[in-house]
Amino acid sequence: MTPPVVLSVAGTDSGGAAGTAADLTTFAALAVHGACVVTAVTAQDTTAVHAVHAVPPAVVAAQVDAVVGDLPLAAVKTGMLGSPAVVEVVGELLPGTPTRPLVVDPVLVATSGAVLGDAAVVAAYVDALLPVATVVTPNVDEARALLGRAADDPTPARDLAGDLALLGPAVLLTGGPDPRDDAPDPCCTDWLALPGAEPRPLRHPRVATRNDHGSGCTYASALAAHLAHGASLATAADRAAAYTTRQLVRSAPWRLGRGRGPVAH
């Protein structure tokens, strides 16, 4: 059967953990064809992002035009966009529609701590991309940045998700480990905020692993793939969380690289 097509708009990771590598392998695992627009080339391994080479906005736009002119896109997922101009290109050329959901993973900081989106990029997300996104998938730090809050702002994750949903899109906020959870069965709580509704918690097991590099990309790509198959946002979020958890469990015992190893693809 002909698979649905999902477009990844993201940066490359030479270590093969995050960015386009995670997106395209997740798409393949979930039976969608992955198209791929590259926004930046990163020199990266499991320890750090060593260099970033931004692709010119006109070249990003040309890639988008080529794909949109030829392939029927069932969903679009964005990852690292890198510059305000590229954020604006995506907002202009690929706004979410009822038949082509736009999943925005606002990549601002790498797992290693490297800054992949500065204040100007944050402003462009808020002005040009969130209003046309179907769903945005920040972690707590990214949600604070998008809301213009301080890094130590004490607002609970649930309310960050609700506040962000007021900017336009649905929000799937990856809350991370819940400090109130007791071992031996720790959980992560994510929050799904649909416009106009109370945020609802999505709880899933916490996997103790260093090999989580690419897990944010994997989660957002799995969400886009399930939306492309026709799942509702709530169902797609549950399935994406379950898929990402399973991949983290698979790679937990791996020994690859000196830093945060890749999540299994």
| Residue spans of beta strands (DSSP E) within 105-230 | 135-136, 170-173, 187-193, 200-205
Shortest CB 80 distance to ligand PLP, Å:
4
Could you list the residues that contact ligand PLP (CB under 6 A)?
10-11, 13, 18-19, 42, 44, 49, 79-80, 107, 110-111, 116, 213-217
CA dist list (Å): 42 to 11, 53, 129, 138, 191: 7, 6, 23, 21, 30
> Exposure string (b/e) for 231-251, b if CB count within 10 Å is 16 or more?
bebeebbbbbbebbbebbeeb
Q: Residue 111 or residue 247: which is nearer to ligand PLP going by CB?
A: 111
State in angstroms the smallest separation of the CB of 90 from ligand PLP.
14
Between 60 and 80, CB nearer to ligand PLP? 80
Q: Which two tokens stand for residue 97?
A: 């529609």
Could you tell me where the DSSP H helices lie in 50-183? 57-68, 84-93, 119-124, 140-146, 157-165
CA end-to-end span of the chain: 23
Nearer to ligand PLP, 54 or 217 (CB): 217
Q: How far is the CB of 52 from ligand PLP (least distance, A)?
A: 8
Minimum CB distance to ligand PLP, residue 69 (Å) = 25
Calpha distance 25→23 (Å, rounded): 6
Task: Tell me whether residue 3 or residue 176 sits nearer to ligand PLP (CB atom).
Answer: 176
Please state, in angstroms and rounded to a whole number, the distance separating the CA atoms of residues 23 and 241: 15
When the beta carbons of 215 and 251 are compared against ligand PLP, the nearer one is 215
Give the shortest CB-15-to-ligand PLP separation in angstroms: 9
